[in-house]
């Protein structure tokens, strides 16, 4: 059994209203050994007019103080670990490490929600304007590969094929081999820089499988990748640990016999059942 969810959002994220206490109690009910909070922070995020409350600016002092109190409160029941999901794009990449190193995080996810500050979020249809879907995806993946060279302020790159969740053309089929050349560069760079990837089970409900595509997992393993975490990307307590049976099967199918957790920004490898 996978004993923790490495990607969870609470009311400290702009897109969640879930209380931390409710998340911890749910993790206890599921028999988890640890509970991680990885709330959003996207430096200089360009707020979309349709969603003015989605600023994704984390109040770090309040966040850490709350987590420290909860760690003490639950110390005899479950281990509360401190995390953050930092949004990365080339313009803000130089700021990522300073933020990650300023606070006592156990774990930092780096995620691309934007390819550029002025280029929009694949969540919105305008990202795909004036380009083919293949061009839109290639642009997104190339941006991720670029980001790995611009900052080392994260531990694991989150939801590598996030853009695939939101393609506005329901008839378009994502074929991994159309982007394999970019993924080879991206995954090699992550491995060379000592960074990992995650299996993000939120993709199951959006695109029918966890992020990233199984062929990306196979390629990561074949290239020598070792660091791999499992997270639900939950924004409500009911989704904590969602699809972890599928994630475990994928890990085994692609040759992994363990998954990774982090403490004090250092990886720990836990065996699968």
Dihedral angle of Cα 232, 233, 234, 240, to the nearest 10 degrees: 20
- Look at the alpha carbons of 82, 12, 5, 68 in this order and tell me if their dihedral is positive or negative: positive
pLDDT, position 120: 74
Q: What is the mean pLDDT of the chain?
A: 96
Task: Give the pair of three-digit tokens for residue 156.
Answer: 């694991």
Distance between CA 268 and CA 81 in Å, rounded? Answer: 13
Distance between CA 137 and CA 212 in Å, rounded? Answer: 13
High-pLDDT (> 70) share of the chain, %:
100
SS3 82: strand
pLDDT tens-digit readout, 66-85: 999 999 999 999 999 999 99
Band the pLDDT of 65: cuts 50, 70, 90: very high
Over its C-alpha atoms, the chain yields an Rg (Å, rounded) of 17
**pLDDT, average across residues 236-258:** 98
- On whether the CB atoms of residues 90 and 22 are closer than 8 A, the answer is no
Q: Buried b / exposed e across 58-86, counting CB within 10 Å, b at 16+?
A: bebeebbebbeebeeebeeebbbbbbbbb
Paired sense of beta strands 79-87 and 34-41, if any: parallel
Which among 206, 193, 185 has a CA at the least distance from the CA of 156? 193
- Look at the alpha carbons of 9, 12, 17, 21 in this order and tell me if their dihedral is positive or negative: positive
Task: Give the pair of three-digit tokens for residue 7.
Answer: 């990607």
High-pLDDT (> 90) share of the chain, %:
96
Whether 119 shows a pLDDT value over 80: the answer reads no
pLDDT, position 1: 87
pLDDT, position 162: 96
pLDDT, position 57: 97
Distance between CA 75 and CA 143 in Å, rounded? Answer: 40
pLDDT tens-digit readout, 31-62: 999 999 999 999 999 999 899 999 999 999 99
pLDDT, position 166: 93
- On whether the CB atoms of residues 89 and 116 are closer than 8 A, the answer is yes
Q: How far apart are the first and last CA of the chain?
A: 6
The domain 20-271: what is its CATH number?
A: 3.20.20.140
pLDDT tens-digit readout, 157-191: 999 999 999 999 989 999 999 999 999 999 999 99
């Amino acid at each position: 059994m996978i004993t923790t969810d490495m990607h969870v959002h609470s009311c400290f994220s702009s897109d969640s209203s879930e209380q931390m206490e409710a998340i911890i109690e749910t993790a206890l009910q599921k028999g988890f050994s640890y509970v991680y909070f990885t709330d959003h922070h996207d430096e200089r995020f360009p707020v979309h007019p349709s969603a003015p409350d989605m600023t994704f600016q984390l109040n770090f002092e309040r966040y850490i103080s709350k987590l420290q109190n909860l760690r003490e409160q639950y110390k005899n029941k479950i281990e509360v670990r401190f995390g953050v999901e930092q949004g990365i794009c080339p313009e803000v990449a130089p700021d990522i490490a300073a933020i990650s190193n300023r606070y006592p995080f156990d774990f930092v996810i780096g995620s691309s929600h934007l390819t550029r500050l002025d280029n929009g979020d694949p969540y919105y249809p305008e990202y795909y304007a004036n380009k083919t879907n293949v061009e839109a995806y290639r642009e997104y993946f190339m941006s991720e590969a670029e980001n790995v060279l611009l900052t080392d302020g994260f531990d694991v790159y989150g939801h590598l094929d996030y853009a695939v969740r939101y393609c506005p053309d329901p008839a378009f089929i994502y074929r991994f081999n159309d982007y394999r050349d970019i993924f080879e560069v991206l995954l090699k760079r992550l491995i060379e820089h000592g960074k990992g990837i995650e299996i993000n089970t939120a993709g199951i409900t959006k695109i029918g499988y966890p992020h990233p595509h199984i062929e990306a997992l196979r390629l990561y393993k074949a290239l020598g990748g070792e660091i791999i975490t499992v997270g639900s990307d939950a924004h409500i307590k009911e989704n904590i640990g969602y699809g972890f049976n599928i994630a475990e099967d994928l890990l085994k199918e692609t040759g992994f016999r363990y998954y990774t957790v982090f403490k004090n920004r250092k990886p720990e490898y836990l065996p699968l059942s």
